[in-house]
């Protein structure tokens, strides 16, 4: 299972939020590159980079941070937050993203998102399916859609989506453990679905201690995104090295 630390960006700084609430912002480092290099030095190969300013502004904002990390480390970066247009996507890939995550656009503008899957392929486009009480949350989690989570994922399975990041917003930043039951349900239902290829599910939100990682692996998660648990020293990079 891939270990994927997260760096969330506001005003060019490395921050964390709780349940996606911008008022809970806590700055952990003024220099995201420094954090990325620390991850790389521990043998980590993947990074989840989120442009929180972009999520709010509805277009890419912090592409310079992406460019800096991509050019000065060998981390494979998946980038998300506010990607709404072909131009946003072009900037993200030109700035060094290996993959991009689309969440709101997959709900609000299916035609464009499906066009990205066709153009760039399912290895490069990740579906962001963030859950709030079973509904897909959008617009930097500031808004709930009417989309039910499981049918939403299954529908994009039919459209050849391979990678899915699912964050249970109620767990995000709470350090109370991830949504094991939700991930089990997604993996079971999507594996038994006639919708197409099996998905690679990336768990996100609530990771609080190292023992949760093998449980997610045993459920069948392809990757796990870890944020606050690293920044709050609940999980050390040394502990993660055995999984890298």
Q: Is the pLDDT of residue 233 over 90?
A: yes
d(CA 6, CA 86): 24
Name 48's bridge partners.
6, 78
- pLDDT at residue 119 in the model: 96
d(CA 6, CA 80): 11
User: In degrees to the nearest 10, what's the CA dihedral of 150, 155, 160, 163?
Assistant: -20
The domain spans of the chain are: 2-243
Name 10's bridge partners.
13
Q: Is the pLDDT of residue 140 over 70?
A: no
Q: Return the percent helix, strand and coil in the chain, to nearest 5.
A: 40, 30, 35
74 touches 51 (CB < 8 A): no
Q: Which residues are catalytic?
A: 8, 130
Highest mean pLDDT among 16-20, 68-72, 189-193, 194-198: 68-72
- Find out if CATH 3.20.20.70 is the number for domain 2-243: yes
Q: Which of 27, 38, 93, 106 is nearest to 60 (CA)?
A: 93
DSSP single-letter state for residue 1: -
pLDDT bracket for residue 169 (50, 70, 90): confident
Give per-residue pLDDT as tens, 146-163. Answer: 899 999 999 999 999 999
d(CA 147, CA 139): 14
Q: pTM of the entire structure?
A: 0.94
Give per-residue pLDDT as tens, 45-100. Answer: 999 999 999 988 999 999 999 999 999 999 999 999 999 999 999 999 999 999 99
- How buried is residue 150: exposed, middle or buried, by Cβ count under 10 Å (0-12/13-18/19+)? middle
Q: Is the pLDDT of residue 141 over 90?
A: no
75 touches 32 (CB < 8 A): no
């Amino acid at each position: 299972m891939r270990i994927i630390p997260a760096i969330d960006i506001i005003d060019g700084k490395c921050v964390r939020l709780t349940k996606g609430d911008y008022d809970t912002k806590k700055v952990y480092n003024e220099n995201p590159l420094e954090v990325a290099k620390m991850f790389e030095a521990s043998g980590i190969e993947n990074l989840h980079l989120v442009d929180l300013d972009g999520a709010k502004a509805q277009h890419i904002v912090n592409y310079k941070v992406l460019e800096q990390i991509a050019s000065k480390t060998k981390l494979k970066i998946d980038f998300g937050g506010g990607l709404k247009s072909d131009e946003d996507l072009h900037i993200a890939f030109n700035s060094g993203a290996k993959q991009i995550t689309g969440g709101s656009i997959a709900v609000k503008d299916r035609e464009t998102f499906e066009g990205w899957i066709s153009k760039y392929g399912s290895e490069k486009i990740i579906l962001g399916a963030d859950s709030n009480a079973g509904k897909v949350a959008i617009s930097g989690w500031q808004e709930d859609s009417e989309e039910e989570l499981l049918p939403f994922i299954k529908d994009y399975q039919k459209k050849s989506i391979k990678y899915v990041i699912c964050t249970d917003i109620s767990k995000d930043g709470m350090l109370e453990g991830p949504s094991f039951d939700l991930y089990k349900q997604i993996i079971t239902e999507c594996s038994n679905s006639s919708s197409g290829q099996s998905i690679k599910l990336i768990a996100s939100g609530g990771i609080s201690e190292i023992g949760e990682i093998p449980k997610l692996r045993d459920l069948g998660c392809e990757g796990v995104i870890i944020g606050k648990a690293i920044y709050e020293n609940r999980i050390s990079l040394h502990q993660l090295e055995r999984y890298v």
